[in-house]
Amino acid sequence: MASQQKDVGILAIDIYFPPTCVQQEELEAHDGASKGKYTIGLGQDCMAFCTELEDVISMSLTAVTSLLEKYGIDPTQIGRLEVGSETVIDKSKSIKTFLMQIFEEYGNTDIEGVDSTNACYGGTAALFNCVNWVESSSWDGRYGLVVCTDSAVYAEGPARPTGGAAAIAMLIGPNAPITFESKCRASHMSHAYDFYKPNLASEYPVVDGKLSQTCYLMALDSCYRRFCDRFEKLGGKPFSMSDADYFLFHSPYNKLVQKSFARLYFNDFLRNASSIEEVAKEKLAPFSALSGDESYQSRDLEKVSQQLAKHLYDTKVQSTTLLPKQVGNMYTASLYAAFASLIHNQHSSLVDKRVIMFSYGSGLTATMFSLQFRGGQHPFTLSNIATVMNVSEKLKSRLEVSPEKFVETLKLMEHRYGSKDFVTTKDTSLLSPGTFYLTEVDSMYRRYYAKKAANGTTGSGNIAACKNGSLGNGH
Ligand code: ACO
């Protein structure tokens, strides 16, 4: 049975990010950073953040119910649910079990899968688990569902502008409009202390920012080389950047994406790819003898390769950067938000195109893999995915708050992290109908959520995951 499922991949996607955001230009001035540091230096426009009403559980409840409703999926048709997240709310109980409230309502408790955690990589692990399940002999004919959900917040300091928040839900099955070239995958995993969360009393990570940048680029090089070798073995011809239409990267901030793409260009030069023009070869030749370490530190190499790759960046990367620049680092959801941006921007011209995805999680784990777009059948088409995600409207309807308000919110969240016995304001005026929100954490740390009803009133409180709204067809 293992090889019977054809074109296994992503059938449907929905994305949710909080309606509250802070402009990077304002944050930069507020933090006393030099003008342009966050917007040009990091390449970021805006950053979403959760208020006391939202967290990774509420965001994923919203994303999952929205996906089921908008694509008309019967909740009993889900056979596996995998969550990727690095935002710790409970050290034992998985986020997946909170999401089970949606399915229990419909009598479906027969759903495999739990949470996967390793920094920003957990979503990719969850995705691979679901795809592997559908391709395997254990598959029972139902859909897989993947959720990537994170709230990225940092302590005061240089890392703070690289936060963000979102949840993305992806439906997995055969005959998909987005398929995996499963044999073309390459990973690089090793031990590093670049970004980690050893302090369980705080939501904030410990970050060695400079090391994390080098680890990321080193993992990228290693994955790309392996990926090229694998492609060559399977395809019988060399692989270079010219063999893919789009390149998508885990995006902590846009400047690193620009550097990463330039790094692939330098790799193609080192591999003597025929697609690199003579004039570019001449400009890169002085750097060919640098050791790996030297090359990560060379500002000249960075500058020259970015200039040479710029025209390719504009066609192969630019349209993937909208959400990462507007929402910020969404940790596990970051790469898939880049993917959502590409579908949003290019859905009518993607059929038969190939995209290369680079997933990175500090600590560290990284994989490069390849996807292809196909036609699909309603409701699982690229144009319908773009319609359902409704990215422009979601971005347009956000409320930009002042840096002072943002800092005040983070202070409240610091105080609330890991605490019990509190209720939230329940002021849902900024939330769209259908959005879940936290109402209370009781004396036994149990969390309660409600759903803002379609008429704009609040739901009936407590878990109420789906009691206040229909979940689509079939019921
Ligand atoms: N105008 C334009 N550019 C400026 C300005 C200015 N006024 N001021 C500084 N810059 C540039 C710098 O030159 C630098 O660009 P470069 O890298 O091309 O040289 C950039 O802005 C950042 O400034 P730095 O001083 O180098 O870095 P900073 O100390 O502010 O920290 C960092 C940046 C390390 C990314 C920090 O925000 C951080 O630790 N973030 C979290 C870790 C992270 O995201 N790591 C990435 C991979 S791991 C992960 O995904 C979590």
In this structure, the residue with its CA closest to atom 23 of ligand 1 is 41
pLDDT at 349: 97
pLDDT at 116: 98
The pLDDT tens digits of the residues spanning 234-275 come to 989 999 999 999 999 999 999 999 999 999 999 999 999 999
| pLDDT at site 43 | 98
Q: What is the phi/psi pair of residue 323, to 5°?
A: -70, -45
**Residue 120 a catalytic site member:** yes
Told to judge if 54 belongs to the known catalytic residues of this protein, a careful annotator would answer no
Q: Which of 160, 124, 167, 163 is nearest to 18 (CA)?
A: 167
Token digits of residue 406: 């943002």
Please tell me the least confidently modeled range out of 5-9, 329-333, 457-461.
457-461
Q: What is the pLDDT of residue 475?
A: 27
265 pocket-lining for ligand 1 (C-beta < 6 Å): no
For residues 167-178, average pLDDT? 98
State the average pLDDT over residues 1-10: 79
Q: Provide the pLDDT for residue 182.
A: 78
Q: What is the Å distance from ligand 1's center to 268 Cα?
A: 26
Q: Which of the four pLDDT bands, split at 50, 70 and 90, describes residue 471?
A: very low
**Residue among 21, 120, 215, 228 flagged as catalytic:** 120
pLDDT of residue 460: 42
Catalytic, out of 203, 215, 250, 466? 250
**Does residue 469 carry a pLDDT above 50?**
no
Is 191 one of the annotated active-site residues of the chain?
no
Residue 457 — pLDDT band, cuts 50, 70, 90? Answer: low
Evaluate: CB of 195 within 6 angstroms of ligand 1: yes
Choice among 28, 54, 86, 203 that is catalytic? 86
Task: Look at residue 456 in the predicted model and tell me its pLDDT.
Answer: 56
Among residues of the chain, what percentage have pLDDT more than 70? 95
Give the distance (Å) from ligand 1 centre to CA of residue 160: 11
Pocket test for ligand 1, best of 118, 160, 207 (most atoms within 8 A of CB): 207
Average pLDDT across the chain, whole number: 94
Q: In angstroms, rounded to a whole number, what is the distance separating the alpha carbons of residues 158 and 208?
A: 11
Residue partners of 187: CB distance under 8 A and separation at least 6: 223, 226, 365, 366, 367, 368
Q: How far is the CA of 210 from the centre of ligand 1 (A)?
A: 8
The tens digit of pLDDT for each residue in 272-323 reads 999 999 999 999 999 999 999 999 999 999 999 999 999 999 999 999 999 9
Ligand 1 atom at minimum distance from 302 CA:
18
Position 183 scores a pLDDT of: 82
CA dihedral (271, 276, 279, 283) in degrees, to 10, reads: -40
Strand partners, 116: 84
Range 327-340 average pLDDT: 98
Question: Considering only CA atoms, which residue is closest to atom 35 of ligand 1?
Answer: 209
Q: Strands (DSSP E) along 161-266, which ranges?
A: 164-173, 178-189, 195-196, 206-207, 246-249
Would you say the CB of residue 157 lies under 6 angstroms from ligand 1? no
Contact between 333 and 123 under an 8 Å Cβ cutoff? The reply is: yes
CA nearest to 265, candidates 244, 251, 250: 244
Which of 39, 42, 218 maximizes ligand 1 atoms within 8 Å of its Cβ, making it the mutation to test the pocket?
Answer: 42
Pocket of ligand 1 contains residue 36 by CB under 6 Å:
yes
Confidence of residue 45 (pLDDT cuts 50, 70, 90): very high
Helix H segments across 253-357? Answer: 254-270, 278-284, 292-297, 299-316, 322-327, 334-346
Q: What H or E segment, with its residue span, contains residue 98? A: helix 95-104
pLDDT in tens, 208-223: 999 999 999 999 999 9
Q: How far is the CA of 13 from the centre of ligand 1 (A)?
A: 31
Phi first, then psi, for residue 22 (nearest 5°) are -125, 135
Quote the CA–CA distance of 152 and 205 in Å, as a whole number.
9
Q: Is 159 in the pocket of ligand 1 (CB under 6 A)?
A: yes
Query: 35: CA distance to ligand 1 center in Å?
Result: 13
The predicted model scores a pTM of: 0.96
Q: Is 40 in the pocket of ligand 1 (CB under 6 A)?
A: yes
**Domain 2-418 is in which class?**
alpha beta
CA dist 248 and 356 (Å) reads 6
Q: Does pLDDT of 66 surpass 90?
A: yes
pLDDT in tens, 104-141: 999 999 999 999 999 999 999 999 999 999 999 999 99
**pLDDT, tens digit (0-9, with 9 covering 90-100), for 385-402:** 999 999 999 999 999 999
Q: For residue 203, report the distance from its CA to the centre of ligand 1, in Å.
A: 21
CA of 418 to the centre of ligand 1 (A): 30
Q: Where are the domains of the chain?
A: 2-418
